[in-house]
A and B are shown apart, each in its own frame.
Chain A
């Protein structure tokens, strides 16, 4: 529909929708009066404005009455158009007038103004909105050189400003992630640090909370920034049915969930803006490969001065991807460090045991030397003892969960000697697991007893016998008692060593001292009777 211009109003012809609106407008009540009587300079300025495709406004006279074109109309939104047409600018722009009013004053004095990406928050769609403009206010001058108004060319740059701001936030986050990876800190500390960087001076993340998925189908709150984290559950189960924040939804569906919040008793702070946050988004943290388990989730407040449009949501998804990457990297670093530490510990422990063992071998060698009369004796006895020590080490290298039993140890030592007639030996007793610290000294003790039986005792003759029996007795805590009884042999001449031999030292000192046990010797004509007993629970 097009209404023709009244006589002498040709300047209003064309001009798109705003031209039509101006032609149809009832100007009788306006301060400007009927268009045909407008000053020539105003007519030319309005004609230029209406026919420009660049967003333009003519602000006429000291009251700055507003006349604008189609391209500028969206900047007014729904609340100021068309009511603002032909009315003083201050009526339409109460929110921004404190800033732009001053600029108009200068323009009316003949000084042009240039503003780039200036934030002019205003209510265009029913809420205070973050908007950015680049514009120039130029003085409108008549034929006599008098300033009669202001001509403004303006372009809204909100989309570019937001996009640049979000790219910057992502870049800073990514940089901080790389820096954080070089520092040795816990996942919690690092995430806390990254969230702080993300929130700082960023209106698009007024606050944020991070959860980390854990074994057993739950997630734990590990970090938060710019909000009291007590407002949110400290841990959630994937199976929770009560899900006011959309956390369980995001965890189980791996999709973002937008939640409206309007609890009047408890407002959520809006970051930089005085308005409360009334919307939150729960975003899943998913690793790079889609098969990976969910890493956790974010709960982010939405900028109260922006709509959560697709660009905004894309930005939040990129934030989630970045934080998922860093969380996953941190977890893998932590796993590696744990395994390195475990290896170091193992090597140290091995080192300790090896050196202790060498020191023991050295001591045994000295003891053996001091009681041997010839080098041949020394070599035989020392090698025998080294063998027993080595068999004990073999048993001890088993994994911790597999026990070493007394029966096993007895048979290993008897078989190792293989010199005696084993058919003359009877052994018996229940299956009893030995404390690991008892294995070495007990293996040496059994070796000494067996060597002695072969060398001097019943196994040396032709008709002797040997009984080795063991059982456990309860004396508050379990005690193992082992009996070594030589019997009825034609005992060869027994030579008692002058100095206390290695075997006696071992049985009468080492065993009781190291295991907290007791040893009894009874050397009778028919053979040796020996009782060993020691507690089965280690005494630390």
Chain B
């Protein structure tokens, strides 16, 4: 499993998730591997503010935040070349063509596995 290398500033990951406990599990899984967690952002506005503030190396993005599609956040992350993954409670989600290649984790998922997959994207 990837971990932060000594002598480097720690990697920072944004969690966008409107359920506290799910975000909490993800945060715990990231802290085990020494990755700093930004957020969690519970709303689209919060998430966009975090992206704008910068210094983010990766993100976990719940597609549906309180009934709103979070694609504006995905757009902002893409524009800043920040790798990210989707999490979703829907099994067949029709995604925009441009996000078809983004890996999706269906809930419930294993937080450790989500962390591992994102870290692989981040070192690329």
Contact = CB atoms under 8 A, between A and B. Distances in A.
A353 interface: yes
B22 to A, nearest CB: 5
Contacts of A359: 19, 21-22, 25, 89, 107-109
B19 A356 contact: yes
Given A351-B91, A355-B107, A362-B108, A540 B21 contact: no
Interface in B85-124: 88-91, 106-109
A356 B89 contact: yes
Interface in A368-426: 370
Nearest to B106: A355
B43 A363 contact: no
- Best-surrounded residue of B19, B68, B91 (most CB of chain A within 10 A): B19
The contact size tier of chain B is 20 to 34
Contacts, number: 68
A363 B25 contact: yes
A339 interface: no
A540 B43 contact: yes
A367 interface: yes
B28 interface: yes
Contacts of A234: none
A348 interface: yes
Interface string B16-41: 00111110110010000000000010
B20 A509 contact: yes
Contacts of B71: none
B21 A363 contact: yes
B66 interface: yes
A429 to B, nearest CB: 25
Nearest to A352: B89
- Best-surrounded residue of B21, B91, B107 (most CB of chain A within 10 A): B21
B89 A351 contact: yes
Contacts of A364: 21
B24 A353 contact: no
B20 A513 contact: yes
A488 B88 CA distance: 48
B22 A356 contact: yes
A502 B108 CA distance: 20
A358 B108 contact: yes
A360 interface: yes
B109 A514 contact: no
A437 interface: yes
B42 A514 contact: yes
Given A351-B91, A356-B19, A514-B42, A366 B107 contact: no
A367 B66 contact: no
A16 B30 CA distance: 113
Interface in B63-95: 64, 66, 68, 88-91
Contacts of B107: 355-356, 358-359
A100 interface: no
Nearest to A509: B20
Given A355-B108, A539-B43, A540-B66, 14 more contacts: A352-B64, A354-B89, A355-B89, A355-B91, A358-B108, A359-B22, A360-B22, A363-B24, A363-B25, A505-B24, A509-B24, A513-B40, A514-B19, A514-B20
Interface of B: 18-22, 24-25, 28, 40, 42-43, 64, 66, 68, 88-91, 106-109
12 contacts: A348-B90, A355-B88, A355-B89, A356-B19, A356-B89, A359-B19, A359-B21, A359-B25, A360-B19, A362-B25, A514-B20, A539-B43
